[in-house]
Structure 1
Amino acid sequence: MSSPGTAASLRAANQVRVVRALRQHQELSQADIARDTGLAPATVSSIVKDLVAAGLLTTTGGAGRRGATVAISRRAGLVGGVDFGHSHVQVSLGDLGGRVLVTAQEPLDNDHAHEDGLALAHRMLDRLLAAESDAGDLHAVGIGLPAPLGADGVIDSGSILPGWIGVHAADAAEKEFGVPTRADNDANLGALAEHAVGAGRGTSSMAYLKLSSGVGCGLILDGRVYRGGIGTAGELGHMTMDETGPLCRCGSRGCLEAYVGGTALTAQFAPIRAQLSVREFVALANNGDTGAQRLIEDAGRYLGRAAAALANVLGPELLVIGGDLSDAGAPLIDGVRDGLRRHALAPVAAQVRVERAALGARSSSIGSVLYALEGLSLTGPARV
């Protein structure tokens, strides 16, 4: 370890700046790196030469030459991302440049034991690694869970996966995978991905609202994921909309999730057609079923009321709507926009944009890859 202010620490910090620029843009000339980072061209040339020799970077046109095109080497290694949903697990592999190379998904009962879920994810990850055998070793894994994780990393009773309650998620996963592992709420990871490479790219503040079986919210403030002092910031799904409303799984009444969550909507729709998944319910609405459309329009209005309160308090530039329910498109998104217009301060409503997630169902999975990448110390942690 080098002391702050030493030549070695300055060199390491400059290496981090170069790698961050390449993770953001994937490929740059050395002149572009110098412009992006503010470093002197000679400094960039020297850093590139060192990192090429270390196997982290690759160049076309010759290492150290200012006209060379530089990228993070595919052979430098891999990171894994695991996204646990209400009824599935999605596993991805990415390179050290943050590019997701391959993704697989398998069904998984929501009442699984956490050991069984991790074992399944491990088997899936091994299959993906076997197919990418020329890309180097696995360096780290990130996992996303539909649950609040406290500052101590333990999943509390708010999880929709009962087999994970009381578990230190990162420790359990690291024991399974055998590499450094980080865990976070899936909505936080969705926010990370959409901000880095999706609908929120270029913004400094945004909220990612994930609408699937439940309701999650990930916050980006001043360019970074905001988790709050106790680690559970963003639990918008348990904002009380009506204290005499329907019972929520958290034990309270009238929570937003009881009106907007996919499980709540399919339960309301059950007298018409029972045992639908959230995706099947959304497909019915998209195919013209008036009852399903009405429920989604109502959900949009409820979400808009909650989003207005969020916008008034935090003033994000953008609200990104993701998760399975976002496939409903305009009926849901328009309801959120209408809620902002009705319930947010006029200047807030006029400036906050509402967009559908650009990464679709892969937001949290891509975010788990980026989160794993953040924790690496090859040249210092990347912050996308």
Structure 2
Amino acid sequence: MTGRHTTAALRAQNRRLVFEALQHGGEVSQAEIARSTSLAPATVSNIVKELVAGGVVDTVAGAGRRGAVVRVARSAGIVAGVDFGHAHVRVCLADLGGTILGSELAPLDNDHDYRDGLKLAQSMLERLVEQLDTAVPLRSVGVGLPAPISADGIINSGSILPGWIGVDAQLAVSELFGVPARVDNDANLGALAEYAEGAGRGVRSMAYLKISSGIGAGLVLDGKIFRGGIGTAGELGHLTMDEDGPLCRCGSRGCLEAYAGGTSLTQQFSSFESGLTVREFVSRAVEGDLGARRLIEDAGRHLGRAAAALAQILGPELIVVGGDMAEAGELLLAGVRDGLRRHALEPIALRTEVARATLGDRSPAVGAVRAALEAVTI
């Protein structure tokens, strides 16, 4: 790499550091940016001038601080976060400071064709944009999918998301929306959101378990999402609990998902009341239905056994439980803690906290927004 290219890369990296400091800090002074980024004040000053000239940053009068403070300009653009679940799609719209401006949720069949899913998300996004007071450009899109995504970006598990098999999802999203895109597993994005804005604030390592129709895990190790060498880390739902157990949709037997996934539990409950969604099934349990409560309690213990293995191998400080099943609250979490206590070494079980996701079922969509912000070119 030539000296010119090295200088250009360093300057681009510094611009990104300043931009991210503004995203995380709201209205901040240039001195505060310099401290948080470890950049020289003169470097920060020059970058801020460039960003102001480019319409990315506004300067505002300092409130109780000497001089002006700066913030991401509201007219600089917007980003979209899209979360595809097994039975829904959620779209969130945010400004470049990360503030959510609007959100919309719609049902979606699990076996949908990827083109139909993306077109639905596009129409939802268009409605959200129409509700804004001013016209601002879309800068990037982040998308979460409930499927393993290989390191080359291809979805290769048709049993989990059949309409997306073989698709280069990032390319498909970028071509449809005409902006840079980031695509990731939905549990990874849920972990990203909870780590940055939710239950995981202040920890260095955590696991996010998304328990909805299926089960997935997102891992944050030393402050960064861990995807593994082949890009598919976190497929906890297909950990074999009993090789002679019930058949799983992935084709194996005795997967954790077959014991604790929402679809499996609602199917078991169907002899009492058929046609329920996972959310409706959880509501029955919360309302006191004994059969539903027992199924969720048992699911919690199965999850706790899997969480114990995860805790002993990776040592997270915190395990965050999210997704539709997390709406059961302590009915589910108590089982997870009990399973962790039974199957992990005592020092590990005692030091591994279990908490409910504070962003609720919005975690993957909020994480998709954060992924989109990372894709913004400044």
Give TM class, smaller chain: over 0.9
Equivalent residue, structure 2, for 1:83: 83
CA–CA separation in structure 2 for the residues paired with 1:6 and 1:73: 29
CA contact (8 A) 1:2 1:9 kept: no
Aligned runs of 1:146-295 on 2, under 5 Å?
146-157=146-157, 159-295=159-295
- In the TM superposition, what is the alpha-carbon distance from 1:133 to its structure 2 partner? 5.5
State the SS of the aligned residue for 1:17: helix
Residue 328 (str. 1) matches residue 328 (str. 2): yes
CA–CA separation in structure 2 for the residues paired with 1:185 and 1:343: 28
CA contact (8 A) 1:242 1:255 kept: yes
CA–CA separation in structure 2 for the residues paired with 1:329 and 1:57: 41
CA–CA separation in structure 2 for the residues paired with 1:343 and 1:97: 43
- In the TM superposition, what is the alpha-carbon distance from 1:307 to its structure 2 partner? 0.2
CA contact (8 A) 2:142 2:369 kept: yes
Cα separation, partners in 2 of 1:135 and 1:342, compared to 1, 3 Å:
farther
CA contact (8 A) 1:30 1:67 kept: no
CA–CA separation in structure 1 for the residues paired with 2:98 and 2:159: 28
Which amino acid is the alignment partner of residue 37 of structure 2? T
State the SS of the aligned residue for 1:134: coil
Higher mean C-alpha displacement, 80-89 vs 324-333: 80-89
Aligned runs of 1:124-163 on 2, under 5 Å?
124-132=124-132, 134=134, 136-157=136-157, 159-163=159-163
CA–CA separation in structure 2 for the residues paired with 1:184 and 1:17: 23
Cα separation, partners in 2 of 1:261 and 1:49, compared to 1, 3 Å:
same
CA contact (8 A) 2:59 2:69 kept: yes
CA contact (8 A) 1:321 1:354 kept: yes
Structure 2 residue ranges without an equivalent (≥5):
none
Which amino acid is the alignment partner of residue 190 of structure 1? G
Cα separation, partners in 2 of 1:3 and 1:340, compared to 1, 3 Å:
farther
Higher mean C-alpha displacement, 5-14 vs 178-187: 5-14
- In the TM superposition, what is the alpha-carbon distance from 1:152 to its structure 2 partner? 1.9
CA–CA separation in structure 2 for the residues paired with 1:13 and 1:374: 12
CA–CA separation in structure 2 for the residues paired with 1:230 and 1:39: 35
State the SS of the aligned residue for 1:27: coil
CA contact (8 A) 2:160 2:250 kept: no
Query: Could you give the per-residue CA deviations for residues 112-141 of structure 1, whole angstroms, max 9, x where no partner exists?
Result: 211111111111111112222625201111
Cα separation, partners in 2 of 1:13 and 1:162, compared to 1, 3 Å:
closer
- In the TM superposition, what is the alpha-carbon distance from 1:21 to its structure 2 partner? 1.6
CA contact (8 A) 1:317 1:351 kept: yes
Which amino acid is the alignment partner of residue 35 of structure 2? R
- In the TM superposition, what is the alpha-carbon distance from 1:47 to its structure 2 partner? 2.7
- In the TM superposition, what is the alpha-carbon distance from 1:217 to its structure 2 partner? 0.6
CA contact (8 A) 2:82 2:143 kept: yes
Structure 1 residue ranges without an equivalent (≥5):
379-384
- In the TM superposition, what is the alpha-carbon distance from 1:83 to its structure 2 partner? 0.8
Equivalent residue, structure 2, for 1:57: 57
State the SS of the aligned residue for 1:110: coil
Equivalent residue, structure 1, for 2:319: 319
RMSD: 1.9
Higher mean C-alpha displacement, 344-353 vs 141-150: 344-353
CA contact (8 A) 1:3 1:9 kept: no
CA contact (8 A) 1:78 1:135 kept: no
- In the TM superposition, what is the alpha-carbon distance from 1:22 to its structure 2 partner? 1.8
Which amino acid is the alignment partner of residue 86 of structure 2? H
Cα separation, partners in 2 of 1:370 and 1:4, compared to 1, 3 Å:
farther
- In the TM superposition, what is the alpha-carbon distance from 1:299 to its structure 2 partner? 0.5
Which amino acid is the alignment partner of residue 22 of structure 2? L
CA contact (8 A) 1:247 1:258 kept: yes
Aligned runs of 1:36-55 on 2, under 5 Å?
36-55=36-55
CA–CA separation in structure 2 for the residues paired with 1:5 and 1:122: 37
Residue 27 (str. 1) matches residue 30 (str. 2): no
Higher mean C-alpha displacement, 262-271 vs 33-42: 33-42
CA–CA separation in structure 1 for the residues paired with 2:193 and 2:350: 26
CA–CA separation in structure 1 for the residues paired with 2:302 and 2:308: 10
CA contact (8 A) 1:326 1:356 kept: yes
Matched residue pairs, number? 376
Equivalent residue, structure 2, for 1:74: 74
CA contact (8 A) 2:158 2:164 kept: no
